[in-house]
Amino acid sequence: MRLTVLGCRSGMPTGGQCSSSYLVCTAETKMLLDCGPGAATALSALGHPAVLDGIVISHLHSDHCYDLLPVGKALLASRTRYPMRFPTLPARDIPTRSEPIPLYLPRGGLDTFRTLAGLFPVATIPLLDKAFEVAFDVREYDPGETFKIGDCLVSLHGLRHAVPNCGIRIETADASLAYTGDTGVTDALVDLARGVDLFLAEATLELTDDSDHGHLSALDAAEAARLAGVGQLVLTHFVTDDPEWLAARRAEAERVFDGPVHLAAPARKFDVA
């Protein structure tokens, strides 16, 4: 299993970096975790979204899901009349896919994205307004559900955030990964991450969040990693790309968690196991 960071920024992207999105690949499966602003472009640098076996969205804040619409339009492009207008275009630029991509959304997500698509209609090519009916097979979930995507068992763990958020745990026969989405400190973090090979944890803040909103500091993430006994910790969801600030957060985490601590960065890859 390998994790590739597409975007690692919070809801205020700067420095040319996109918001939360991560590609998880095994020998058999390609899965996207979250799809924040800029993710569609970052994903296109690695291939066409038609190769994906599934997409899982942790929660319905825009920095984790906004680029589902352009990804959907890219998937629909080959179904319009326009490919015939490009007789010399390389086939790789308009790949075909007969089956919709399974898209797992929190409960209520389908209505949200149908509304979003309706705000930007393409009246002359109405198919492009049907991403969430045609390009995706939308499956709304509740906390506690499990399902398979390819050779991966995916389980969803309710965490603490301003809107319903599920941490995502992925397991294969020989590797395991847990991703927080956005969350404040909660005992459920330890259950999410218990014993995984790699823990991808948000570290938005410098100090612990005592509000109802729900975010982690690097220290909070490291303490959860320590209690869960994970193999390695990857910090993400940053508000800045300042190297000194990020290095300080990593150093804080290393004082609590004695395994490898990494900082997520665009295009950075991590071998999970």
Q: pLDDT category, 81, cuts 50, 70, 90? A: low
Question: What is the predicted pLDDT for the residue at 92?
Answer: 66
pLDDT digits (tens, 9 = 90+) for 227-260: 999 999 999 999 999 999 999 999 999 999 999 9
pLDDT of residue 72: 95
How many domains does the chain divide into?
1
Q: pLDDT at position 39, please?
A: 97
Write down the pLDDT at residue 88: 80
Structural domain including 174 reads 2-271
Instruction: Determine the average pLDDT of the residues in 20-49.
Output: 96
Provide mean pLDDT across the span 198-205.
96
Q: What distance, in Å, lies between the first and last C-alpha atoms of the chain? A: 6
Lowest mean pLDDT among 76-80, 111-115, 213-217: 76-80
Which segment of 98-102, 140-144, 173-177 scores lowest on mean pLDDT? Answer: 98-102
Q: Which residues pair with 247 in a beta bridge?
A: none
User: Which pLDDT band holds residue 207 (cuts at 50, 70, 90)?
Assistant: confident
Residue with tokens 């499990």: 146
Q: Read off the pLDDT of each residue in 128-157 and give the average, rounded to a whole number.
A: 97
Q: How far is CA 97 from CA 127, 159, 182, 201, 246, in A?
A: 15, 35, 32, 33, 40
Q: How confident is the model at residue 91 (pLDDT cuts 50, 70, 90)?
A: low
Which stretch of 43-52, 78-87, 190-199 has the lowest confidence by average pLDDT? 78-87
Q: Which of 6-10, 52-56, 203-207 has the lowest mean pLDDT?
A: 203-207
- The Cα 229–Cα 225 span in angstroms is 6
Beta strand 166-171 with 232-236: parallel, antiparallel or unpaired? Answer: unpaired
pLDDT over 90 (residue 201): yes
User: Three-state SS for 92?
Assistant: helix
pTM for the whole thing? Answer: 0.95
- Reply yes or no on whether the pLDDT at 79 is more than 90: no
- Looking at every residue in the chain, the average pLDDT score rounds to 93
DSSP letter for each residue of 118-153? HTS--TTSGGGG-IIIIIEEEEEE-TT-EEEETTEE
CATH of the domain at 139: 3.60.15.10
What pLDDT digit, counting tens, does each position of 143-168 carry? 999 999 999 999 999 999 989 999 99
In three-state form (DSSP H/G/I as H, E/B as E, the rest C), the secondary structure along 198-245 is EEEEECCECCCCCCCCCCCEHHHHHHHHHHHCCCEEEEECECCCCHHH
Exposure on the CB side of residue 123, measured as CA atoms within 13 A: 0
* pLDDT grade for 54, boundaries at 50, 70 and 90: very high
Are the C-beta atoms of residues 74 and 94 closer than 8 Å to each other?
no
